[in-house]
Amino acid sequence: MNRIEGKVVAITGASSGIGEATAAHLAERGAIVVLGARRKERLVALAERIAAGGGKASYRVTDVKKRDDVTRLAQLAVERYGKLDVLISNAGIAPISPLDDLKVEDWEEMIDVNVKGVLYGIAAGLPIFRRQGFGHFIQTLSTAGLRIVPTMAVYAGSKNAVRAISEGLRQEAGEKLRVTTISPGYVRTELSPSMPAMAIPPTAIAEAIAFAIGQPDNVDVGEIVVRPTAQA
């Protein structure tokens, strides 16, 4: 049974990497995808590619640092397709550096995108999900939050903040809503172009996300970790 077909899925950070791969994969499985990212030309190209393959896609330029942008992305799904089944908060940045470098602006940017961007997604999606009586939040985390290493303290902290928020959300959500976090390891994306040779393709993460979405409504996949076999 294809439990993904017909679901309306909004995705932030959809213009490249994991977001782009997830949008394409879900559309192939019959989902209707609503794409959000800052780069309009990339969104247009992805939506056209999905449509050319027989899928359905809409887009809205979205900066997750702006609450109104995220709200409008979720509203687009409801206005155009009558519902929102899944909201994937995938947008993220990782300007890593030693704490001694005092790159405070980078720290603030990570909090704004990686943490507040997810909170804006919850604020946008939760009222819709409550009204519908169903909905699924998926947040993209990182294995950097599971194994803390030098230069990645703030990035790991931002991802672990979302891990804690998501667990609290899961417990508050009740039996009608689902909450999933996914922690990728080394993945070949624009976020980290210097990834080691062991890095896996973003399609591996897309397939894991599809697995969580495709479960029966009463099954909540809480957390998925996907990493290369060679990663420590």
Which residue type, as a one-letter code, is found at position 207? E
Q: Where does the chain show beta strands of DSSP type E? A: 8-12, 32-37, 56-61, 86-89, 135-140, 177-184, 223-226
Q: Is residue 105 part of a domain?
A: yes
Q: Is residue 231 part of a domain?
A: no
Confidence (pLDDT) at 193: 59
Q: What is the CATH number of the domain that holds 157?
A: 3.40.50.720
pLDDT beyond 90 at 187: yes
Number of domains in the chain: 1
Lowest-confidence segment of 11-20, 34-43, 115-124, 188-197 by average pLDDT: 188-197
pLDDT-above-70 percentage for the chain: 98
- Which domain covers residue 99, as residue numbers? 8-226
Catalytic residue among 59, 81, 120, 155: 155
pLDDT beyond 70 at 46: yes
Q: Respond yes or no: is residue 155 known to be catalytic.
A: yes
Confidence (pLDDT) at 192: 62
Tell me the pLDDT tens digit for each residue of 77-123: 999 999 999 999 999 999 999 999 999 999 999 999 999 999 999 99
Q: Calculate mean pLDDT across residues 42-64.
A: 98
Q: What is the DSSP string of 155-219?
A: HHHHHHHHHHHHHHHHHHH-TTEEEEEEEE-SB-STT-TT--TTPBPHHHHHHHHHHHHTS-TT-
Confidence bin at 136 (pLDDT 50/70/90): very high
Rounded to whole angstroms, what are the CA distances from 176 to 140, 168, 172, 203, 206?
Answer: 21, 15, 11, 29, 24
Q: Is residue 1 part of a domain?
A: no
Confidence bin at 197 (pLDDT 50/70/90): confident
Confidence (pLDDT) at 194: 64
Q: Is residue 125 part of a domain?
A: yes
Tell me the pLDDT tens digit for each residue of 138-151: 999 999 999 999 99
pLDDT beyond 80 at 1: no
| Mean pLDDT, the chain, whole residue set | 96
